[in-house]
Chains A and B, each alone.
Chain A
Amino acid sequence: MGLMDQVELPQPVKYVFNWGRKYSLWCFNFGLACCAIEFIAASTSRHDFIRHGVIPFAHGPRQADLLVVSGTLTDKMAPAVKRLYEEMPEPKYVISFGSCANCGGPYWDSYSVTKGVDQIIPVDVYVPGCPPRPEALLDGIIALQHRIQNESLKDRIAGRRQDPITLGADAPLALEEGA
């Protein structure tokens, strides 16, 4: 990426650049449990997140921009998530989809479940629910796109991340970041 982590793009270029990035999120679905079914439902014709520019056919983590962790992450699986996340090129985004991925959910006291994917990788958007409806995923994707549109790529590539968005708990989308 060369200079991109040192030089801020001029505003018009940045706008167009971010606009392009936010509508071509190649998505890598880490489906671990029932939430993955909701993810699939969100990708099919009724909800169809492809119309938002989310492309669920990344060939692997190296071709992906967005990692959706949907389902129960166990301690046994955690190293695999960590590794695949690290294989993704910057700038990369993570949506934690469902209660299990957020905090362990109903398995909060389990001996084998990681209590939240944010313990191993940084998360951009938390989508609560058990499982969340496909609409909730769409909401999370739109929140993420909103963030991408307004973010500084320089900061992102330098590894400076903004605080994660929690759907339902944070300010409504329209109020956030002065849109």
Chain B
Amino acid sequence: MSDVLARRDRALSPEETEELLRDRLGDGLQRTVLEYGVFTVWVEQDAWVQAATLCRDEPLLAYDMFDNLFGIDAREEGFDVVAVLYSTSTGNRIALRTRCAGGRDEPTCPSITDIYRGADWMERETWDMFGVDFPGHPQIGPRILTVENFEGWPLRKDFHLASRAAKPWPGVKEPAELDEDGNVIERVPHIGDAPGPYDLDKAMAEQAQAMNPRPELDGPEDDDDADDEPAEVEAGPDDDPTVSGAEKAEARRKAQAEARAKKAAERAGGDGDEGAAQLDQDVYDQLIAEGKSERIARSKAKAAYIKAQRAKEGDA
């Protein structure tokens, strides 16, 4: 017992662990990675069981607690299986990782249920989600997480979600949305962009916007028109195949800026009766004269107007 109850100050460092494992496993150990505080040991498929046994039984390692086991879809190369082990005596954690034999068609990985009983259900779940078979497992079926008549392996990358086939993603923004040239569209949320449904929310959002002017990159930003902009500029210089991508992007940006400016001018003129009625014209003119953007001037003038109205109401 004294061997197993090693003290924490005698815990092996990752380098020492690697040295020890390399000594015992030889070529069975492929490489080691220390990332995000997790020490990962890649082992050959043939050395998988031996590595797990070694981790448990070697007194200096003493990984006596089986933490978890899961699969990873490695695309063309097939599937990986990772087992995370923990040592209650040294406080070390290690991840053993191996690539399954059999590629994508029939991935198999030897079972380690003989070494760690806790691996039983973990391997069943891995089989259920990825279709990785574990020879030596006492009973891999029936399916444990999905319903018993489920078809397919749902965590594989090539598993098709039936709902998505019938209907596209209903959300407004995909996580990585691309424009026509394949560049990632970066959307930076700004303070006050999405006010709640109530008047108070809108007033607070406006106030917040006025206090936190957004950095001006290229021309005034105009978010509420963002959705219908691409349609407007489509007839621009995009059709010319001789123009390079960078020039195209530049031209599009210019066209968008023009469209925005036009729209802003229209709005200022068009719904003037409503818009102008709620602006403090003096403040607006002054800010424009100072060289502030039209948007900022509008919001500040609006805030000044509201403030003045409130003061008036207070007097009354």
Please indicate the chain B residues that have their CB under 8 angstroms from the CB of A109 in the complex.
161, 163-164, 169
Does A22 reach chain B (CB closer than 8 Å)?
no
Q: Could you tell me if A75 and B146 are in contact, using CB atoms closer than 8 angstroms?
A: yes
A109 to B169, CA, bound (A): 9
Q: Could you tell me if B145 and A76 are in contact, using CB atoms closer than 8 angstroms?
A: yes
A146 to B47, CA, bound (A): 68
A135–chain B nearest beta-carbon distance, Å: 15
Does B147 reach chain A (CB closer than 8 Å)?
yes
Q: Which residue of A lies closest to B148 (CB)?
A: A76
**Those of B124-163 within 8 Å (CB) of chain A:** 145-147, 150, 152, 154, 159, 161-163
A110 to B146, CA, bound (A): 12
Does A115 reach chain B (CB closer than 8 Å)?
yes
Please indicate the chain B residues that have their CB under 8 angstroms from the CB of A108 in the complex.
163, 170
> Given contacts A111-B154, A112-B154, is CB(A76)–CB(B161) below 8 Å?
no
Q: Could you tell me if A75 and B147 are in contact, using CB atoms closer than 8 angstroms?
A: yes
A162–chain B nearest beta-carbon distance, Å: 30
B241–chain A nearest beta-carbon distance, Å: 38
- Residue-by-residue, is A101-118 near B (CB-CB < 8 Å gives 1, otherwise 0)? 000000011111001000
A110 to B152, CA, bound (A): 13
A111 to B163, CA, bound (A): 8
B71–chain A nearest beta-carbon distance, Å: 16
Q: Count of B residues near A, CB < 8 Å?
A: 13
A76 to B148, CA, bound (A): 9
B163–chain A nearest beta-carbon distance, Å: 4
Please indicate the chain A residues that have their CB under 8 angstroms from the CB of B146 in the complex.
75-76, 111-112
- Residue-by-residue, is B201-231 near A (CB-CB < 8 Å gives 1, otherwise 0)? 0000000000000000000000000000000
Q: Could you tell me if A111 and B161 are in contact, using CB atoms closer than 8 angstroms?
A: yes
Q: Could you tell me if A76 and B163 are in contact, using CB atoms closer than 8 angstroms?
A: no
Q: Which residue of B lies closest to A115 (CB)?
A: B163
Q: Which residue of B lies closest to A106 (CB)?
A: B171
A175–chain B nearest beta-carbon distance, Å: 22
A115 to B164, CA, bound (A): 13
**Those of B254-280 within 8 Å (CB) of chain A:** none
Please indicate the chain B residues that have their CB under 8 angstroms from the CB of A115 in the complex.
163
- Residue-by-residue, is A41-83 near B (CB-CB < 8 Å gives 1, otherwise 0)? 0000000000000000000000000000000000110000000
Please indicate the chain A residues that have their CB under 8 angstroms from the CB of B154 in the complex.
111-112
Q: Which residue of A lies closest to B165 (CB)?
A: A109
Q: Which residue of A lies closest to B164 (CB)?
A: A109
A111 to B156, CA, bound (A): 12
Please indicate the chain A residues that have their CB under 8 angstroms from the CB of B162 in the complex.
111
A112 to B164, CA, bound (A): 14
B158–chain A nearest beta-carbon distance, Å: 13
Interface centre among B147, B152, B170 (most CB of A within 10 A): B147
Q: Which residue of A lies closest to B171 (CB)?
A: A106
A111 to B128, CA, bound (A): 13
**Those of A81-138 within 8 Å (CB) of chain B:** 108-112, 115
Q: A108-B163, A109-B163, A112-B146 are in contact. List 5 more A-B contacts (CB 8 A).
A: A75-B147, A76-B147, A109-B161, A111-B146, A111-B152
The 9 closest A-B pairs by CB, nearest first: A109-B163, A111-B154, A109-B161, A75-B147, A109-B164, A76-B147, A108-B163, A112-B146, A111-B161
Chain B interface residues (CB < 8 Å from chain A): 145-147, 150, 152, 154, 159, 161-164, 169-170
List 20 contacting pairs A-B, 8 Å CB cutoff, sorted by A.
A75-B146, A75-B147, A75-B150, A76-B146, A76-B147, A108-B163, A108-B170, A109-B161, A109-B163, A109-B164, A110-B161, A110-B163, A111-B150, A111-B152, A111-B154, A111-B159, A111-B161, A111-B162, A112-B145, A112-B147
